[in-house]
Structure 1
């Protein structure tokens, strides 16, 4: 009979994700994960599989948790104000998450996106999910006759995905919040 697990799997997964997020996949060793999570090597393997499987599980967990921020783009309200609040939250997150480590998925895309098909498919699914959420938001804004411009909703959705990702990347080296805010302001002005 297998021994019951003696650690909080959710907490261990969160700690592993934080380490991968801060250091990247290649720079994170199994020993780093053991030390950071406080979980023995054998228990990590038994629970999550190898390092690659653990990393994939972390990507899945990040995708689930990141979707909460999109709630601010749902429901009634003035679309422009909703997008302003959304980008403010993105900028806050980008500027205030430790060592400005960026977005976990964007970092992964730059490090491993073209190398590992399983990782690439998760990155693509994440991007499609974000695009879909922006599309739904823009559809609502269009129904209220609030959108301006000549681009299709699909084009605008993809543009917003790019702006969002760009803010996280820019935050890694931007001297101040205003640098990111300027980019968000231009994006908002193109839509409303």
Structure 2
């Protein structure tokens, strides 16, 4: 039990625990049990429960951004990448997957109580918006995404839709409802003539 803590392994395990139980619902005893170390090792490696939580938020941000960038890069064109990525991010997770978005969960739980966590969450959403903005700009240049709204506004709309879907998932919304919301969210990218055809 007193073995030296492995930082990356510890962050992975702590992220899962915080994601499942939240910051307040996770005790130091739970952390030491999950990480397989004594409290002095946790304090020596991370300083405090709060600092460990902040590191897991940072790790989550990198995981999300890497995943989104990968999905966008693998697509044959910008619009296909946006469609596939948004549908994936707005779909209900499997039984073994964590529920909701860890960053959104953090914002809802801690609100203004933890300015450092709030900053990380805000930066996470900003970085995600930037990835979508760049993809939307490519789509606009390719003629597959509307140009009467700026790429920045469209990207912010997509991020809002994704985070809303993650909250829907936590409230046990149906797969059909979440799929419909994803389709409606993606329709904001359509060219005006395509929107008219939908009507």
Instruction: Report the TM-score, using the length of structure 1 for normalisation.
Output: 0.90
Equivalent residue for 2:24?
Answer: 26
Structure 1 stretches of at least 4 aligned residues deviating more than 6 Å after TM superposition? none
Q: Does 1:85 align with 2:84?
A: yes
Report Cα offsets for 1:40-80 as digits up to 9, x if no partner.
11101100110111001111111111112212123662333
Unaligned 5+ runs, structure 1? none
Q: Does 1:172 align with 2:170?
A: yes
Report Cα offsets for 1:71-105 as digits up to 9, x if no partner.
2123662333222211232144x422647521100
Task: Give the Cα–Cα distance (whole angstroms) in 2 for the partners of residues 17 and 75 of structure 1.
Answer: 27
May I ask how many residue pairs the two structures share in their alignment?
188
Unaligned 5+ runs, structure 2? 191-199
Tell whether the 8 Å contact from 1:100 to 1:171 is kept in structure 2 after alignment: no
Write out aligned runs for 1:40-189 (5 A): 40-70=38-68, 71-74=70-73, 77-92=76-91, 94-96=92-94, 98=96, 101-148=99-146, 150-189=148-187
Task: Give the Cα–Cα distance (whole angstroms) in 2 for the partners of residues 186 and 120 of structure 1.
Answer: 29
Task: Give the Cα–Cα distance (whole angstroms) in 1 for the partners of residues 172 and 149 of structure 2.
Answer: 29
When residues 75 and 95 of structure 1 are mapped into structure 2, their CA distance, relative to the original with a 3 A threshold, is closer
Tell whether the 8 Å contact from 2:5 to 2:42 is kept in structure 1 after alignment: no
RMSD over aligned CA atoms reads 2.0
Instruction: For residue 115 of structure 1, give the secondary structure of its aligned residue in structure 2.
Output: coil
Instruction: Report the TM-score, using the length of structure 2 for normalisation.
Output: 0.87
